[in-house]
Structure 1
């Protein structure tokens, strides 16, 4: 099989267009113009989750010989890298969101005023914009907010998924250690079952509110990506077990998106992953189709979208809310279609410009700093007890 490292360029496009999907979906929600799947940005977030599960496991397997998970240093290095990948830009956006929360709330009310009953519907979200309490600040700065049912949807940012991601990072080293001790596939299926049971208990007891930001509610999607990556370590026909398992865990009835269409799209994503990783084993016509799709997802434009995807995801509502509020105040009689087009056009220009600046001035230096700090961590010879 060809080196899979040469076949991951498509992830740039998947990340980039998933973040664009979120932006378009929120523009539809804020302007009242909704079209099919584009109006369901939650699906795009689930694409991010599967990609994250795949990449974390994939890169671990690449570094397995020099950064084994049974060493304390590996855990420390992993957490340093991930913190400095996520935190710098998030903290900047969090500060802006909290500081300008009251203004963004007024923009949200103005945007909703053009819909019948829109303002009344939004009143239940007031705390999301107005909570500037020390508790809310500390929970978000420490990334603990995602594990709560009181503050997981308590800023103007779409950061519930950031809290979810950080919980996944916190537990990943322990999960990988279990995988080493008990075997990849049995351990993953056991973890999915345990998380499923815990998530069902949380849901039954009313602890799932605001957003699906608690790890048990979305762990099965991380697991789908992890199983895809783990298939690279399997031999022969055993790879099919990972494919079947990755598709099966999508059906865990937690975390929203459980209708047939949502599940079909997620299974399709799993199959696309496998097709890219093992395309040299597919018929020639399938290889040609994948080559064309690979070019679309990994060309220079898609790489740009992938590079700025995190910034676009974090920044877009800070731009879109004022844009939609301004349109509602100045053009209250505008029909949904032109309102959506105007809001989307203005938001795209401003957000992608800011996203590029953030990528160059905040994200890239943050990643480099994390690598430098991780590189200075001593590597003890003794494994964990």
Structure 2
């Protein structure tokens, strides 16, 4: 008799409830993005790691897929996806986690857009290869505002990269949150590896069938372009709870290698090593080297970097672009070696960027999370959940 994949998943041992080293990884990813943009804005290009900003965002996506699936495994008995209230609570929690801080900084980006665009033009005058379209900074139309407030912008090439924020990945993240319950149900019904492989194949088929549409995205903000990265994160969480995790490792590495062949970039090669390193951290809990790394990623500094990672990611361009724009008008700065320009600009922007991210975390981000918890705990919502259940 065939075994139900859902029963197989439920029979596995519960994974660890908390992995504090993930906070440090989120902090590293946010710092990586900041250094990547600073590197570009002081005239740098073509250097491995510093030029791989999208790989830093991929790290965020893998961690997002991992954490969503990991938390599901912890709650799979008390909050099954077959219950509509689980879906509602999941989406509400994620909306209140992302939206309050995003809307604050989106407002700032729209108001400051012309000024940021002017500073960006100063940089492009010195390093023309770094130029971006003026519409990214100057479009304060209601259409653009509504596209971003509704999170629809990521699915439309003309709006996917149209604010001073690096928010293309926020639209992508919200698409993943919308799809996540369906992904988990598909993995329950058909098996995690089979369902994931079919979905990745469908995404590749869509790219083959509509190449012009997918190439028109200035950034990979549409979920079919990056679903495979989130699925790798989900497989990683399932590996942590599995009795035989090797199949998830092999599947994830195979998908990563497949995309090396499709993209043919050093960044894609770097993604393979990121996937291997993350599986090592997840699965090799008995390794002394792994545990030393986990301890460093769980330190007080790492927790601070993790807490401020979302705010730093969204905020930093509003600081880095004006600073780099001002520096680009100083002949003495331009005469410096690229490495010195990078360090000098990064040192100048680091303090206000982290301070601003910390203030936003305390005043906006944590309050938004608390608002969501209070809403879900309110008697009216609780009663509605009881009726629907």
Same fold (TM over 0.5): yes
The equivalent residue for 2:98 is 86
2-structure distance, mates of 1:24, 1:109: 20
**Residue deviations 1:15-41 (CA, integer Å, cap 9, x gap):** 101110100010010001354312321
The partner residue of 1:245 within 230, 244, 251 is 251
How far off its partner does 1:268 sit?
A: 2.7
Change (3 A) 1:162 1:257: farther
Provide the secondary structure at the position in 2 that maps to 1:251. Answer: helix
The partner residue of 1:262 within 267, 271, 285 is 267
The equivalent residue for 1:201 is 209
Change (3 A) 1:18 1:90: same
Q: Write out aligned runs for 1:7-26 (5 A).
A: 8-26=19-37
Provide the secondary structure at the position in 2 that maps to 1:38. Answer: coil
Provide the secondary structure at the position in 2 that maps to 1:190. Answer: helix
How far off its partner does 1:193 sit?
A: 1.6
The equivalent residue for 1:341 is 343
How far off its partner does 1:2 sit?
A: 9.9
The equivalent residue for 1:145 is 153
The partner residue of 1:132 within 140, 143, 167 is 140
How far off its partner does 1:277 sit?
A: 3.0
The equivalent residue for 2:297 is 297
How far off its partner does 1:371 sit?
A: 1.8
How far off its partner does 1:42 sit?
A: 1.3
Q: Is residue 276 of structure 1 aligned with residue 281 of structure 2?
A: yes
The equivalent residue for 1:28 is 39
How far off its partner does 1:131 sit?
A: 0.7
2-structure distance, mates of 1:374, 1:270: 35
The equivalent residue for 1:60 is 72
Provide the secondary structure at the position in 2 that maps to 1:36. Answer: coil
1-structure distance, mates of 2:97, 2:210: 30
- Paired residues, number: 371
Query: Structure 2: any 5+ residue segments left out of the alignment?
Result: 1-11
**Residue deviations 1:246-294 (CA, integer Å, cap 9, x gap):** 21222344998643x43443233333333333324x5xxxx11111111
2-structure distance, mates of 1:6, 1:206: 38
**Is the Cα contact below 8 Å between 2:48 and 2:267 reproduced in 1?**
no
Q: Which one is further off, 244-253 or 216-225? A: 244-253
1-structure distance, mates of 2:152, 2:330: 40
Provide the secondary structure at the position in 2 that maps to 1:150. Answer: coil
**Is the Cα contact below 8 Å between 1:196 and 1:254 reproduced in 2?**
no
The equivalent residue for 2:224 is 216
**Is the Cα contact below 8 Å between 2:120 and 2:321 reproduced in 1?**
yes
1-structure distance, mates of 2:13, 2:274: 21
2-structure distance, mates of 1:170, 1:313: 22
The equivalent residue for 2:172 is 164
How far off its partner does 1:111 sit?
A: 2.0
Change (3 A) 1:264 1:210: closer
Question: TM-score, with normalisation over the residues of structure 1?
Answer: 0.89
**Residue deviations 1:176-216 (CA, integer Å, cap 9, x gap):** 12222222222222222222212333434455321110000
1-structure distance, mates of 2:283, 2:13: 8
Query: Structure 1: any 5+ residue segments left out of the alignment?
Result: none
